[in-house]
Chain A
Amino acid sequence: MIEQLLTSFIATAAFGIIFNVPKKLLLNGGLVGMIGWFIYISFVEYDFDSVLATFVATFFIALISQLFARIYKTPMTIFSVSGIIPLVPGGLAYEAMRHFVIDDYNLALQLAAKAFMISGAIAMGLVFSEVINQIIKKA
Chain B
Amino acid sequence: MINHLDRTNQIVEVCLLAGKIMLQNGAETYRVEDTMMRIAASFGIRESHSYVTPTGIIFSIDGTGPTKLIRIAERSTDLQKVIIVNSISRKISSGELSLKEAYDMLKEVETNRLAYPLWVQVAAAAIASGCFAIIFQGSWSDFLPALISGGGGFYCLDFVHRLVKIKFFAEFLASFIAGILAMCFVAIGLGHDLDKIIIGSVMPLVPGIPITNAVRDLMAGHLVAGLSKGAEAFLTAFAIGTGIALIFSIY
Q: A residues bordering B, Cβ < 8 Å?
A: 3-4, 7-8, 10-11, 14-15, 17-22, 37, 73-75, 77-78, 80-82, 84-86, 88, 90-91, 93-95, 97-98, 100-102, 119, 122-123, 126-127, 130
Quick one: closest A residue to B140, CB to CB?
A: A3
CB-CB under 8 A from A91, the residues of chain B are 136, 195, 199
Query: B241 and A15: CB pair below 8 A?
Result: no
CA–CA, A101 to B250, complex, Å?
Answer: 10
Query: Which residues of B from 32 to 46 have beta carbons under 8 Å from A?
Result: none
Query: Which residues of B from 211 to 251 have beta carbons under 8 Å from A?
Result: 211-213, 215-216, 219, 237, 241, 244-245, 248-249
CB-CB under 8 A from A94, the residues of chain B are 195, 198-199, 202, 244
Query: A90 and B206: CB pair below 8 A?
Result: yes
Q: B residues bordering A, Cβ < 8 Å?
A: 25-28, 31, 77-83, 86-87, 90, 114-116, 120-121, 124-125, 127-128, 131-132, 134-136, 154, 195, 198-199, 202-204, 206, 208-209, 211-213, 215-216, 219, 237, 241, 244-245, 248-249
Query: A75 and B131: CB pair below 8 A?
Result: no
CB-CB under 8 A from B26, the residues of chain A are 19, 77
CA–CA, A127 to B215, complex, Å?
Answer: 7
Query: B195 and A130: CB pair below 8 A?
Result: no
Query: B80 and A22: CB pair below 8 A?
Result: yes
- Ordered by A's residue number, 19 sampled pairs between the chains whose C-beta atoms are within 8 Å are A7-B131, A7-B135, A11-B135, A18-B77, A18-B121, A19-B209, A21-B80, A73-B87, A77-B209, A81-B209, A88-B208, A90-B136, A91-B136, A91-B195, A93-B237, A94-B198, A94-B202, A97-B248, A123-B211
Query: A11 and B132: CB pair below 8 A?
Result: yes
* Known contacts A15-B204, A85-B208, A93-B241; A74/B83 CB under 8 A: yes
Query: Most chain-B Cβ atoms within 10 A of its Cβ — which of A88, A91, A119?
Result: A91
CA–CA, A97 to B241, complex, Å?
Answer: 6
Contacts between chains A and B (CB distance < 8 A), count: 143
CA–CA, A93 to B238, complex, Å?
Answer: 10
Query: B208 and A84: CB pair below 8 A?
Result: yes
Query: A7 and B79: CB pair below 8 A?
Result: no
* Known contacts A17-B120, A74-B86; A88/B211 CB under 8 A: yes
Query: B124 and A88: CB pair below 8 A?
Result: no
Quick one: closest A residue to B22, CB to CB?
A: A75
CA–CA, A126 to B125, complex, Å?
Answer: 25
CA–CA, A14 to B135, complex, Å?
Answer: 14
CA–CA, A7 to B206, complex, Å?
Answer: 18
Query: A7 and B134: CB pair below 8 A?
Result: yes
Quick one: closest B residue to A26, CB to CB?
A: B124
CB-CB under 8 A from B115, the residues of chain A are 20
* Known contacts A37-B135, A80-B212; A98/B248 CB under 8 A: yes
Query: A75 and B78: CB pair below 8 A?
Result: no
CB-CB under 8 A from B80, the residues of chain A are 20-22
Query: Most chain-B Cβ atoms within 10 A of its Cβ — which of A14, A73, A74?
Result: A14
Query: B31 and A101: CB pair below 8 A?
Result: no
